[in-house]
Amino acid sequence: MPKAAKKGLILHFYAEPAIRKMPLGDPARLSHALMNLLSNAVKFTNTGIVKLHSAIKDTQPGRWRKKTVTISFEVKDSGVGMTGEQIEKLWQDIYGGAGLGFSVTKDIVKMMGGKLAVESTAGLGSKFSFDLTFDTIDVSGTDTPWAEKIGVKNIPDEFEMPMFEGEVLLCEDNPMNQQIVCEHLARVGLKTVVAENGKIGVDMVQRRVNNNEKQFDLIFMDMHMPVMDGLEAASKILELGTGAPVVAMTANIMSNDLEIYRMSGMYDFVGKPFTSQQLWRCLSKYFKSLSRQTPDGLVPAEYRVQVENKLRQKIITHFVKDNRNKIAEITDAIRANDIKLAHRLAHTLKGSAAQVGKILLQQAALEVEQRLKDEQNHVTSRHMAVLETELNAALAELEPLADEFSHTEKRM
């Protein structure tokens, strides 16, 4: 938006809603792809308009009696366009200024089951498009298991923070994510107990069973943790029969991922990164909303902006503190052939980058993470160089802000 405004460009967005249907997919990956395409469109457009258009192309009965929806996505600009030779170089990942972003976008779209198409004419602009097919669930009150488990109810107003009462167990190994979730939950009145990995979480629940203590009202479960991952921990907790619902908290919410979570007893999920409203919607399914009083006579919207800004400051400070030596940590793990650790470090950096809105860093970390999958090392010096460049750029921008926040707190 700021770059487009600076160039005097018109941005036009349209998304056709899927009435009474919730597509099951990965919004983080889709967001990455669209942000890449929009960024390139703005970059190569000096006058005119950039459009993002998404429309429902088809609906069909799908697997296991599920219905599917096919959505077409299109990013179109009135920019400099490309010649046939430049388009060919783009597919070969060597077109200046767009190669890495395009390569990542192409891979993301492919992972989601689509194929990226390019149409362009030199001097007349470009169009990038792809179709994706999603399984859907009926959110109008049908008797399907998914609708029963994650049917929306008692959703708070978009600008009004709710207030709840209860205790939540958060199984999460990333300190930055721990702080973010704990801050969000504290703001709406919930007490949080943190478990640094799945095994500790299982032990905490087991201890309450043994001591006949009140169980947690809700359990948020990260999927990628050391010692014991989220799937195993969720299965073990649910075997204890405490009745505490376990909600997956993960960046991986493709339809096949959701099916795996459901088979492990987790019928609900919160994507990472999440907005306040997305978290509130989830909490509203498990807690009764209480009346809310805002301090200092602020109206709810003003109070929400105030606390969001404070949380944002803490997130930035935490990001800078945690990631100054991250490249060295990943490199050392690879050299020691601890590929599992290197994979987890890249995964953590990817999530942290998303929290501070650094899309290019997030993409670079995703690339390294994918090349370390299944304890196989396919990372090249080029991938690490891109990751280091993007991390250094993010730190250079955020470190002054973190220092400013620190000085402000000291003065207060």
C-alpha to C-alpha distance for 228 and 94, rounded to whole angstroms? 41
What average pLDDT does range 2-14 have in this prediction?
A: 80
Q: Is pLDDT larger for residue 297 or for residue 168?
A: 168
Contacts for 404 with CB less than 8 Å, ≥ 6 apart: none
If one counts every other C-beta atom within 10 angstroms of the C-beta of residue 81, the result is 19
Range with top average pLDDT, 196-205, 278-287, 316-325: 196-205
pLDDT of the residue at 114: 93
Stretch 352-362: mean pLDDT: 84
DSSP-derived pairing of the beta strands 218-222 and 166-171: parallel
pLDDT of 123-171, one tens digit each? Answer: 888 999 999 998 887 765 444 333 344 333 443 444 467 889 999 999 9
The mean pLDDT value of the chain amounts to 82
What is the percentage of the chain residues whose pLDDT exceeds 70?
82
What is the reported pLDDT for 228?
A: 93
pLDDT at 101: 67
Among residues 362, 394, 120, 4, which one has the least CA distance to residue 370?
362
Pair 319, 356: CB distance under 8 Å: yes
Handedness of CA 72, 73, 78, 80 (dihedral sign): negative
Hey, what domains does the chain have and what are their CATH numbers? 2-138 (3.30.565.10), 152-292 (3.40.50.2300), 311-402 (1.20.120.160)
Specify the pLDDT at position 142.
Answer: 40
pLDDT tens track for 201-233: 999 999 999 999 999 999 999 988 889 989 999
Gap between the Cα atoms of 30 and 344, Å rounded = 22
- Print the SS3 string covering the chain: CHHHHHHCCEEEEEECCCCCEEEECCHHHHHHHHHHHHHHHHHCCCCCEEEEEEEEEEEEECHHHCEEEEEEEEEEECCCCCCHHHHHHHHCCCCCCCHHHHHHHHHHHHHCCCCCEEEEECCCEEEEEEEEEEEEEECCCCCCHHHHHHCCCCCCCCCCCCECCEEEEEECCCHHHHHHHHHHHHHCCEEEEEECCHHHHHHHHHHHHHCCCCCCCEEEEECCCCCCCHHHHHHHHHHCCCCCCEEEEECCCCHHHHHHHHHCCCCEEEECCCCHHHHHHHHCCCCCCECCCCHHHCCHHHHHHHHHHHHHHHHHHHHHHHHCCHHHHHHHHHHCCCHHHHHHHHHHHHHHHHHCCCHHHHHHHHHHHHCCHHHCCCCCHHHHHHHHHHHHHHHHHHHHHHHHHHHHHHHC
27 vs 117: which has the higher pLDDT:
117
| Cβ 53 vs Cβ 114: under 8 Å | no
- pLDDT for 155 equals 38
Whether 294 contacts 300, CB under 8 Å? yes
d(CA 131, CA 70): 7
Going by C-alpha positions, the residue among 152, 156, 173, 175 that lies closest to residue 164 is 156
Cα–Cα distance measured from residue 222 to residue 230, given in angstroms and rounded to the nearest whole number:
6
pLDDT in tens, 35-86: 889 988 998 888 888 999 998 888 776 554 568 889 999 999 988 888 888 8
- Bridge partners, residue 333, by sequence: none
**Contact status, residue 155 vs residue 284, Cβ threshold 8 Å:** yes
Q: How confident is the model at residue 107 (pLDDT cuts 50, 70, 90)?
A: confident
**CA distance between the termini of the chain:** 34
pLDDT of 306 strictly over 80: no
